[in-house]
Amino acid sequence: MILLYITICFEYSFLKGIRKSPEKIVLRIFLSQSCSMHKVNIMLKTGKDKRLYATPKEFEERERAFLSQIIQGSTIPTLVEHSEHICTHWNKAMENLTGHPAEEVVGTNRQWIAFYPKPRPTMADLIINDLQEEILKLYKHKCRKSPLIEGAYEAEDFFPGKGEAGKWIFFTAAPIKGSDGNIIGSIETIWDITQSKQLQHESESYIHQLSALCSISSALNTSLDIEESSRIAVDNIIANLDVDSAGIYLKEENSDFRVAYSSGYSESFYQTGNRVGPDGIVGKTVREGKTIIFEDVTIANTPYRGFALNEGLKSVACFPLVSNEEIFGVIKISSHTSRRFSGEDKDLFELIGNRVALAIENARLHHQTKMFSQSLELKVKEKTEELEESYRELRRSEERYRAMFDADPNPIFIMDIKTFKILDINATALDCYGYSRDEFLAMLFPDLGYDKNPELVEELKHVSLNQSHFYPKRIHQRKGGDYFYVNVHISPVRFMERDFLIATTTDITENVEKEAQLIQAGKMATLGTMAAGMAHEINQPLNVIQVCADFFLKMLKKNKEISRLELSTMADEIKSNVQRAAGIISHMRDFTRQSGVISGKLNINKPIRDVFKVLGQQLEVHQIELDLDLDDKLPSILADHNRMEQVFINLVTNAMDTLDEEGRKGDQEWKKFLKIRSFSEDGQVIVTVSDNGAGIPGDIIDKIFEPFFTTKDVGKGTGLGMSISYGIVKDYGGTINVKSKSGKGTTFELRFPIIR
C-alpha cells in the first residue's frame, strides 16, 4: 500500500511588483512505500479508549480523501497531475479563476485548455518529465527556479484570453516524489496578479510622468531668455516623451505667429525664425483654445496635408500657451514613426503646456524688464521707498499696538480658537500671574483656572464668532498657587486669515471680598429681623428646662423621693430641649459665617425649609398663612446653602413687611398669605415666592435691585437685601425677576440651571 504523509506549508507575501517579493506556496508530499506487507494494522485511539482496525487499502483511501479535502478546501487555485500527466485534482478556486469546471479537466491531460488556445505542456507537465532546460526555454525570462523547493519553478505570464482585458498569472509548480526519490506527480498553484501588475504599471507611468515633468521644469528654470527657454523646452520634450519632433510658435504684435524654436523637422518645414504662415492647425488651436490631436495620420484622413504630405508625420498634437486667459503661443509635438501617442504622454500635454507657458511668460516679462530697465528701476526705487515707508509705518503701528497691549491694566491673552493654546500675552499678564512668557506659551488658557475650568472649556467650544462673551467671577491661580477672582471677557477676532480669541481677565478679588463683607453685613442686618423669632424659639426650650428644674427643687425641699420614671422623663425633656436650643444656635452660627462664591450640589428645598426654623414663629405672630409647595424630586443646582438661605430670608422678610403694611389698612376679613413653590421645567429649577401684600408701584419696580434703594422708613431698612440677593443669584448662573400689582401682591421668580 501507499502511506501518504502530507506536509503543507503556505508562505504568504505580496506579489512581485507590489513589494518586490513574489508569493510562494510550498507543498511537499512525502510518500513511503512498503510492498512486503500484506496487511497493516493501524491503531487509532478513540475518546473511549477503543481500538479500531483498518486495512491498508482502507487507510490509503482515507489518506487520499484527506488530501482531496485539503486541496479542494484551499482558497489557492491548485491542480495536481500524476506521472502520466493525467489531472487528478482541480479545486474550486481553480474553477473560479479559469472558468473551466473540474469535470472538464480531471481524468484528462487537457489541463492546458485553461491557459492556452492549443495543446502545449504546462509547467507541471515539464516538472514531471524533469525538463529544466525546456522550462527555461519555454518561459524564457519570465521563469526562475524556486528559492524554497528543490526542483520547483515559478513564473508569471500574461494571458490575453482571460477576462475582459486579459490577466497576469503567477504560478508555481513543484514535483511530488515517492519514497525512492523518483517524481510520481506534480502540483501547480495559480495566482491572479492582474491588479498588482496594473498598480505597478500605474506607478511606473506616474513616475515616468513625474520624472518627465520635473526634468522639463528644472531645465526651464535655467534661463530667462525667450529663445533659450523655447529651445530648452523643445529639446526636453523630445528627450522625455516618445516623440521625435517639436516646435514652439509665439504670437507677434501683428498677430502673426513665428517659429520661436523647432527641432526634428526638415529644412523646409517651420524653421526657427520663420513665420508659420497659413498653417491651419496652429490657427485652429488658437481659435478653439484647446489641445488638438491627430493620430494614424495619412494624406487621406487629415485636412492639413502639409505635415502629412511634405513632412511625413504620423501623429501630431498642438496645444495652446495661455497667460491671463490670452493665448500667446502654440506648442506642436509630433512623431514621424509612432502613429499614436501613449496615454502617459497625453496626460502630460496640458501640464507641459502650463509649465512652458509660465516659463516663456516669465522670460517675456524679464525681457520687458530689460527693455525698460531705467524706467522700471525708477519705479522700483519709488515703490521701494513707498514700501519702506509702509514698513516703517507698520513698525510704528506695531510698536503702538504693543505699547497699548502691554500698558493695558488688565491681563490680555491671545489664544487659538480651537485648541485654546496661548499664543501671546501682555506685560500685565506676566506681572499678575507670575509665569514667564515661555511658560505661558506652553499653556492652554483653561489651565489658568481653578480645576482647569471644565465648564469654561465647554462654553468656549461653542463661542459665537460675532459677539463678545462675559464670564463673571471665575477663579484663577497664580504661579505660586494663590487663587484670585477674575471677570473674563472673551471676543473672537479674525486676523491674517485665521480665527483667534482675545481674553481679558480683570482681578476682582477685592470686589468679591467687599461684596462678601457686604453680604455679611446684610446677614447681620437680617439677624435683627430674626431676633424675635430666635428669642421665642430659644425661650421655649428654656421654659421647659426651667419647669424641670423647679420640679426638682420643689421635691428636694419637701424631702420627697423622685421616682425613676419621673427622673427619666424629666431628663429626656431637658436633653431634647437642650438639643433644640443648640440646633437653633448652630443654625444661626452657620448662617452668620462668611461664605465664599464656590458652590456645590444643592437641593434648593433645604435652604427654603431652614428659613422657617427661625422665621416660622414670626409668621404666626404676624398672622401670615404659609403655603410650602415644594417638589420632593427636585434636581440639584450649583449653589451655596448659606447664601441661598439668605436670599430666601430677604424675600420672606420683605413679604412680611409688605403684608403688615397692607394689614394696617384695617380690613379685618383680609387674610395675609405667603406661598413658596419649587419645581423643574425646561432644564431649570424654578422657585416662586408670592404674597398678597401691598405690591410694588410700577414707577419703582425697576429699582428694587439697586443697592441702598428702599421704600421703608428711615432706620427700618438698609436697602441691601434685594441687591445682595440679586448678586448671589447671578453668581450661580441664575436669574431673578419680579411681577407685581399695587394692592394685589408680588411674585418673585428665581431660575437656576440644573446640573446632572
Of 484, 503, 522, which residue is a domain's last?
503
Q: Is the pLDDT reported for residue 753 higher than 80?
A: yes
Whether 569 and 694 share a structural domain: yes
For residue 51, what are the β-bridge partners? 45
The answer to whether residue 440 is domain-embedded is yes
Name residue 141's amino acid: H
The answer to whether residue 90 is domain-embedded is yes
Whether 731 and 595 share a structural domain: yes
Whether 361 and 420 share a structural domain: no
The answer to whether residue 388 is domain-embedded is no
Residues in the chain: 756
Whether 90 and 56 share a structural domain: yes
- 3 state DSSP class of 130: coil
Q: Which of 126, 134, 136, 128 is nearest to 177 (CA)?
A: 128
Question: How much is the pLDDT for 592?
Answer: 59
The answer to whether residue 722 is domain-embedded is yes
Of 151, 167, 192, which residue is a domain's last?
192
Q: Helices in 415-508 by DSSP H: which ranges?
A: 427-433, 437-441, 454-461
Name residue 584's amino acid: I
Question: How much is the pLDDT for 281?
Answer: 78
Whether 169 and 150 share a structural domain: yes
The answer to whether residue 706 is domain-embedded is yes
Whether 498 and 522 share a structural domain: no
Q: Tell me the per-residue pLDDT of 574-631, one tens digit each, with 9 for 90 and over.
A: 877 777 666 666 666 655 555 555 567 899 999 899 888 767 777 877 888 899 999 9
Q: Which of 117, 33, 31, 118 is nearest to 82 (CA)?
A: 31
For residues 329-357, one letter each, b for 16 or more C-beta atoms within 10 angstroms of the residue's C-beta and e for the rest, the string is: bbbbbbbeeeeebeebbebbbeebbebbb
Full residue range of the structural domain in which residue 141 is found: 2-192
Question: How much is the pLDDT for 4?
Answer: 33
Cα separation, 718 vs 707, whole angstroms: 9
Could you identify the residue written with the cell 507677434? 252
- Is beta strand 672-681 parallel, antiparallel or unpaired with respect to 624-630? parallel
Whether 109 and 15 share a structural domain: yes
C-alpha cell at 26: 510550498
Q: Tell me the per-residue pLDDT of 683-713, one tens digit each, with 9 for 90 and over.
A: 999 999 999 988 888 778 777 877 665 665 5
CB-CB contact of 23 with 12 (8 Å): yes
Whether 186 and 57 share a structural domain: yes
Any idea what the CATH number is for the domain that residue 425 is in?
3.30.450.20
The H or E element spanning position 5 is: strand 2-11
Question: How much is the pLDDT for 270?
Answer: 64
Q: Tell me the per-residue pLDDT of 338-391, one tens digit each, with 9 for 90 and over.
A: 888 887 777 778 888 788 888 787 777 777 777 766 676 777 778 888 888 887
* Domain count for the chain: 4
* Torsion sign over Cα 528, 532, 534, 535: positive
Any idea what the CATH number is for the domain that residue 227 is in?
3.30.450.40
The answer to whether residue 247 is domain-embedded is yes
The answer to whether residue 256 is domain-embedded is yes
Q: Is the pLDDT reported for residue 195 higher than 50?
A: yes
Whole-number percent of the chain with pLDDT over 90: 12
Could you identify the residue written with the cell 500524476? 82
For residues 27-42, average pLDDT: 33
Q: Write phi, then psi, for 608 (nearest 5 degrees).
A: -65, -45
Q: Is the pLDDT reported for residue 460 higher than 70?
A: yes
Q: Which of 323, 311, 325, 342 is nearest to 246 (CA)?
A: 311
Question: Is pLDDT larger for residue 693 or for residue 3?
Answer: 693
For residues 671-677, average pLDDT: 90
Could you identify the residue written with the cell 486579459? 166
Of 451, 480, 503, which residue is a domain's last?
503
For residues 714-724, one letter each, b for 16 or more C-beta atoms within 10 angstroms of the residue's C-beta and e for the rest, the string is: eeebbebbbbb
Whether 82 and 170 share a structural domain: yes
Whether 689 and 748 share a structural domain: yes
Whether 14 and 76 share a structural domain: yes
Any idea what the CATH number is for the domain that residue 571 is in?
3.30.565.10
Question: How much is the pLDDT for 436?
Answer: 92
Whether 153 and 218 share a structural domain: no
* pTM of structure: 0.36
